[in-house]
Structure 1
């Protein structure tokens, strides 16, 4: 599924420009992705709805994780999300959408690298500016960690 999501991120600068699901499915099949990967990825993307979280930006306060969230999201994952928010890479509403999309994954799939990818996909889906200092950190989820030459 993550390969499909990465492919879509790389193919479409504007997520709104991607074709309808049927055409996109054919395109992904032609690119060599398996049907179950395609269905999972497109279902996951369709669940990316920012509307329920928009009111969060108006409030202020500290985010506490529920017991279930703490069990599913490791300390490293929660710390990275906090790092992104502290450095203004994510708004509170975007943070909540990242958490929502992480919780929509199998618990075994959630790790710091996947969290980077999910944060990047949330920003991409909203056509948000990639923060200058955080952009490289987030893009490492797609392109791998940068190496010194």
Structure 2
């Protein structure tokens, strides 16, 4: 960063920007990376579409587990008014028909998503070579 001046408001912002930049950890090699944004490139999609894709490719969910929601409902931290407000905002084609149906759906457990195998996973299964590990290590290098 080029220095604007050593005093005045610009210098305050420059010093703050430098401190912020130095607080960001390096992400290479990938094995030492501490955070990944699984939604990168999906910001223009609705939650259902991004969630379906993330479940398929990463075996991850975009929402809290239903057990978490069930516990909050049981504890009274999520009230009927909260559920009704969310229900009203949901796409009518996708939401349960009533608040009672929503609560019944929230009470059902759901299996954790499982990612579909990648080409590297399939090749590893067929050959016995750890292709996913090899690819991750090489790309990380």
- TM-score relative to the length of structure 1: 0.23
Q: Structure 1 or 2: larger helix share?
A: 1
- TM-score relative to the length of structure 2: 0.24
